Amino acid sequence: GAVVSQHPSRVICKSGTSVKIECRSLDFQATTMFWYRQFPKQSLMLMATSNEGSKATYEQGVEKDKFLINHASLTLSTLTVTSAHPEDSSFYICSASSLDTSNSPLHFGNGTRLTVT
């Protein structure tokens, strides 16, 4: 089955530093990737949608200059949390699709637990 790899699985950083999270589709070409954020005991909130070779589309309330998304190839998308602060601590999950998502399930990475101290 389709596999999405997300790295790192866990990261602890100091306030003010930037953190990059990678999302890779291992056995298919992902034309579209989605980035979600999940707080404890809460559901996933879509942050942005990225299409290969074009700018990401951010959801309302998500700062595009703080959460930089790059989808430079059909197998890799990155999310960079710039100048991280403790309130950015959260669980970040990516998902990817190569097909018409109205007909096929999305495949998710295992998530990245970000802790900003």
Partner 1 sequence: KQEVTQIPAALSVPEGENLVLNCSFTDSAIYNLQWFRQDPGKGLTSLLLIQSSQREQTSGRLNASLDKSSGRSTLYIAASQPGDSATYLCATYNQGGKLIFGQGTELSVKP
Q: Residue 92 and residue 5: Cα distance in Å, rounded?
A: 13
- Residue 86: asked if its preceding bond is cis (omega within 30°), the reply is no
One symbol per residue from 30 to 69: x for binding partner 1 (CB under 8 A), - otherwise; what is it?
Answer: ----x-------xxxxx--x--------------------
Angle (CA) 88 49 117, round 5°: 10
Provide the minimum distance between the beta carbon of 46 and partner 1 in the complex, in angstroms, as a whole number.
6
Three-class DSSP category at 87? helix
Q: Which is nearer to partner 1, 28 or 82 (CB)?
A: 28
Is residue 14 within 8 Å of 71, Cβ to Cβ?
no
Provide the minimum distance between the beta carbon of 16 and partner 1 in the complex, in angstroms, as a whole number.
26
Q: Which is nearer to partner 1, 11 or 46 (CB)?
A: 46
Q: Which is nearer to partner 1, 54 or 103 (CB)?
A: 103
One symbol per residue from 69 to 98: x for binding partner 1 (CB under 8 A), - otherwise; what is it?
Answer: ----------------------x-x-x---
Is residue 59 within 8 Å of 38, Cβ to Cβ?
no
Is residue 96 within 8 Å of 23, Cβ to Cβ?
yes
Residues near partner 1, by CB under 8 A: 4, 6, 34, 42-46, 49, 91, 93, 95, 101-111, 113
